[in-house]
Amino acid sequence: MSAEPEGSSPEPFRPFERLASERIYDSRWCGLRKDWIRLHDGHEQDYHVFEVDDAVVVVPVYENGDIALLWQYRYVHGKSHWEVPAGRIAPGEAPEAAAARELAEEAGCVARELVRLPGFYPINGISPHYAHAFVALGCTPNDGARPERSEQILVQRCAAHTVRERLRRGEIADGFTALALLYYFAGAHARP
């Protein structure tokens, strides 16, 4: 048990030393490397690190509080399920710009205002991949969603209580989506 007083955070641990790094794979979509590291007891071991561009996720909220959910197909597990707009940040793109772009492309919406939710590391045992989260307030339809060729998406406008009920029943299986929605419902977005 830590001796730290409750509510404060201890000092950061001392990082492990990287002795060497082997490139396993490089592509425009992802990279994989194997580092050789030294622990503080002198033991040495390898550590695989998966590399992928950082991402955004955005909760689209209409003026009356309704939320746009996307019924979306994901190739990796073969299922269709509920999500909110999300995607990778393009090189040189600001997170806010990426969120506005995904909102337009996937939900067919433009927002009056983008407000930050807490961001997160989705898989920090494996990758430094980071997700910036937003809520898009005052959404209105633009000229229509333009999903990418490999995306299959249906947009459904839902009352907030419907979305809360889906969360409570465990029907939101996408981690990015569930976390951004729960932060939004918990009031974690700082209003300017």
| Subset of residues 25 to 44 that bind a copy of itself, contact rule: CB under 8 A | 25, 27, 29-30, 32, 35, 37, 39-41, 43
Q: What's the Rg (C-alpha) of the chain?
A: 19
Task: Report the site for a copy of itself in 87-116 (rule: CB under 8 A).
Answer: 87-88
Nearest residue (CB) to a copy of itself, 111 versus 131:
131
Residue 82 binding a copy of itself, by CB under 8 A: yes
* Residues 132-191 close enough to bind a copy of itself by CB under 8 A: 149-150, 152, 154-159, 162, 165, 167-175, 178-179, 182-183, 185-188
75 binds a copy of itself (CB under 8 A): yes
Q: Please count the CA atoms within 13 angstroms of the CA of 134 that sit on its side-chain side.
A: 28
How many residues sit close enough to a copy of itself to count as binding (CB under 8 A)? 87
First CA to last CA across the chain, in angstroms? 38
Contact segment (CB under 8 A) with a copy of itself among 47-55, 89-97, 98-106 equals 47-55
DSSP 38-87: E-TTS-EEEEEEEE---EEEEEEEETTS-EEEEEEE-TTT--EEEE--EE
131-141 and 55-62: which strand pairing?
parallel
Q: Shortest distance, CB of residue 93 to a copy of itself, whole angstroms?
A: 17
For a copy of itself, the closer CB: 74 or 101: 74
Q: How far apart are CA 58 and CA 179, in angstroms?
A: 11
Nearest distance from residue 43's CB to a copy of itself, in Å?
6
Q: Which of 110, 127, 142, 147 binds a copy of itself (CB under 8 A)?
A: 127
CA 28 – CA 180 distance, rounded (Å): 27
The crossing angle, in degrees rounded to 10, of helices 175-185 and 160-168 is 120
Q: Considering beta carbons, is residue 111 or 178 the nearer one to a copy of itself? A: 178
CB of 104 to a copy of itself, least distance (A): 15
